[in-house]
Amino acid sequence: MKPQVLPLFDMKSLKIIFYLATVSLALLIGNSLPDELHAAERELSTTAKQKKYLGIKRPGFTLSDIKGQQRSVGEWDGKVLIINFWASWCSPCRKEIPVFNRLQQEYGPDGVQFVGIAIDNHKAVTQFIQSTPMHYPVIIGNMGAVKLSMAYGNITGTLPYTVFIDRQGRIMSIAGGGLTETHARQAIEKLL
């Protein structure tokens, strides 16, 4: 009697394994793409979904800054305004802050103003700023800033989320997810 050889996997299992291997390979390749390609991909998908927010007047708000003082978005009228919604626990947010610090220092004399709106509590933001200084106004939005970010076009609830506003107060560019320095510079240069 000849021994019977049983297949290690049936056809259904092989298909599942092939599918999982294909998905894993796609994720591996996608995650190894340069930051510029990810930024370009984000910009294209964001623009398509959020096009109706471009060109509109930015919504108003008044919130407390890190020192407890009330800050209104109107105080930056006439400037190129970059509003960045972020949180201390958000890794891509933390990566952007040194870039935004450099860009604020470089473009500030040209009338560019960065403003960080933390979707976070005061204690977490204060602790974060002790280790990573922010050289632009930081506003504490708590969870209410989620609704504000939606008013600025963040329909997917992405963090970080950055809005570029021209000197007339119109939303001109939106970026969901972490920004590269190159992308941020390009968006600023278009508004100068």
Whether residue 13 is contained in a domain is answered as: no
- Which of 51-55, 73-77, 127-131, 184-188 is predicted least confidently? 51-55
Q: What is the CATH number of the domain that holds 122?
A: 3.40.30.10
Compare 126 and 49 and report the one with higher pLDDT: 126
Residue 25 phi, psi dihedral angles, 5° rounding: -65, -40
Eight-state DSSP code of residue 190:
H
Whether residue 22 is contained in a domain is answered as: no
| pLDDT tens, residue by residue, 80-135 | 999 999 999 999 999 999 999 999 999 999 999 999 999 999 999 999 999 999 99
Whether residue 26 is contained in a domain is answered as: no
Tally of structural domains, the chain: 1
Whether residue 10 is contained in a domain is answered as: no
C-alpha span between 171 and 54 (Å, rounded): 5
- Per-residue confidence (pLDDT) for residue 180, from 0 to 100: 92
CA 188 to chain centre: 15
- Per-residue confidence (pLDDT) for residue 109, from 0 to 100: 97
- Per-residue confidence (pLDDT) for residue 132, from 0 to 100: 93
- Dihedral class, residue 132 (left if φ above 0, else alpha if ψ from -120 to 50, else beta): beta
Whether residue 86 is contained in a domain is answered as: yes
- Per-residue confidence (pLDDT) for residue 32, from 0 to 100: 41
State the residue range of the domain holding 150: 35-191
Whether residue 107 is contained in a domain is answered as: yes
Whether residue 8 is contained in a domain is answered as: no
Q: Are 80 and 188 in contact (CB under 8 A)?
A: yes
Q: Among 29-33, 142-146, 173-177, which range has the highest average pLDDT?
A: 173-177
The yes-or-no verdict on residue 30 having pLDDT over 90 is no
- Per-residue confidence (pLDDT) for residue 49, from 0 to 100: 60
Compare 17 and 74 and report the one with higher pLDDT: 74
The answer to whether the predicted template modeling score (pTM) of the entire model surpasses 0.85 is no
**CB within 8 Å of 85: residues ≥ 6 apart:** 117, 119, 141, 145, 148, 149, 152, 154, 159, 160, 161, 162
Residue 55's pLDDT band, with cuts at 50, 70 and 90, is confident
C-alpha span between 74 and 58 (Å, rounded): 10
Please list the residues that pair with 69 across neighbouring strands: none
DSSP secondary structure, 49-99, as one string = HHGGGTTSBPPP-EEEBTTS-EEEGGGGTTSEEEEEEE-TT-HHHHHHHHH
Whether residue 6 is contained in a domain is answered as: no
